[in-house]
Structure 1
Amino acid sequence: MPIRAEKPSDYLATEQVVQAAFADEPFSDHSEHLLVSRLRASDAFIPALSLVYEEHDSIIGHLLLSKIEIVHAGGSCHQALALAPVSVLPSQQGKGIGTALINKSIEIAKELGYTAIVVLGHAKYYPKFGFRPASQWDIRAPFEVPDEAFMALELVPGGLDGVHGTVRYSPAFFA
């Protein structure tokens, strides 16, 4: 499979893919490529979970999972992952590349011992991977979002049992 961990020598090409993937998205601020760069420089970055899809020595897709915490009102925290962004060159979309990246990232996240992933995304796309509204676990975003668009996935059975609270993203998301 043409999916591998991103290397520093890929950074420019990856950011170009991310920028192109979101260029025509109406609900985008078109700065996702800058988010990727900021996340790489943060404590939330996990090199093994920054994946690229490569074809004919060209990067055509990218996915990033980064560390987050789910913070309970009492102060306890549960470590999880945020899926953001998933990017595929517009000319390559609809070919299963995003699906392959998501499936591979879930596999690697499980191998690394993570128990859950959250995503803010299309309510009709992510459920096919097992994502469900995070509100089912009383997990909330730190900002206003439609309930159906903020989702969570248990990577292991019961991975979110007893977990509830507000997601704390890396400051890189808000710079």
Structure 2
Amino acid sequence: MAGPGSGHDVVIREREPADDEAIRRLNDLAFGGPFEGKLIDELREAFIDAVELVAIEHGEVVGHILFSALTTMVDDDAIPTLSLAPMCVHPGRQNSGIGTALVETGIELARRREWQAVVVLGHPDYYPRFGFSAELASGLDSPFEGESFMALELVPGALDGEDGLVVYPAAFGLVS
């Protein structure tokens, strides 16, 4: 795919093990430290990395996104849910459509793999464009709340219910 307005060819594809060092360097650069790189390693080691994509431009990893499996219950029913975290784009390539392409491609792949919902802790001005809603997430008991904690149903009605709970994997270092 071509990055909008970039004039360059950007390819979105699934992560390969050979990408891992470049992914770590990119996350360290984009987030200013090693936390996200360690998180990615731990999610992979726990075998809950369900959808992982990279954006490649001129042979270089310029974007990365990871969706990992979460334990989510709604009215005592297990709902196949993913957490979108982390997602980054090289600082010099931000605002060029790469992040949008990563999120859209990841959501579509998650839908095809029969996941029913996705949650994200992210910028409230960015993620609603993909259908994420803080209102939808407000019905889920989680370590997060407020306008930055959002949910997206991949299957309509998947998160409908009276009593919802999201339990993050140990890699996130949270207690819910």
User: TM range, normalised to the smaller chain?
Assistant: 0.7 to 0.9
Match of 1:5 in 2: 14
Can you list the C-alpha shifts for 1:37-90, whole angstroms capped at 9, x where unaligned? 1111113122xx110000111000000000001235x75432200000111111
Structure 2, gaps ≥5 residues long: 2-10
Match of 2:64 in 1: 62
Match of 1:108 in 2: 109
Match of 2:38 in 1: 34
In the alignment, the residues of structure 1 paired with residue 162 and residue 104 of structure 2 have an alpha-carbon distance, to the nearest angstrom, of 24
Match of 1:50 in 2: 52
Aligned alpha-carbon RMSD (Å): 2.0
The TM-score with structure 1 as length reference comes to: 0.86
> How far 1:173 sits from its partner (Å)?
1.3
In the alignment, the residues of structure 2 paired with residue 147 and residue 76 of structure 1 have an alpha-carbon distance, to the nearest angstrom, of 24
Q: How many pairs were matched up?
A: 165
Structure 1, gaps ≥5 residues long: 24-28
**SS of residue paired to 2:147:** helix
Whichever residue aligns with residue 112 of structure 2, its letter is E
**SS of residue paired to 2:79:** strand
Match of 2:159 in 1: 160
Match of 1:149 in 2: 148
Match of 1:26 in 2: none
Moved more, 124-133 or 30-39: 30-39
Match of 1:130 in 2: 131
In the alignment, the residues of structure 2 paired with residue 125 and residue 164 of structure 1 have an alpha-carbon distance, to the nearest angstrom, of 27
Can you list the C-alpha shifts for 1:99-149, whole angstroms capped at 9, x where unaligned? 1000000110010011100000111111111000155561132x2x44111
In the alignment, the residues of structure 2 paired with residue 45 and residue 153 of structure 1 have an alpha-carbon distance, to the nearest angstrom, of 18
Distance change in 2, residues 1:105/1:13 (3 Å): same
The TM-score with structure 2 as length reference comes to: 0.86
> How far 1:164 sits from its partner (Å)?
3.9
Question: Does residue 98 of structure 1 match 2:99?
Answer: yes
Question: Does residue 17 of structure 1 match 2:26?
Answer: yes
In the alignment, the residues of structure 2 paired with residue 42 and residue 164 of structure 1 have an alpha-carbon distance, to the nearest angstrom, of 27
Q: Percent identity?
A: 40
Can you list the C-alpha shifts for 1:3-37, whole angstroms capped at 9, x where unaligned? 111011110101111111111xxxxx751111111
**SS of residue paired to 1:148:** coil
Match of 2:173 in 1: 174
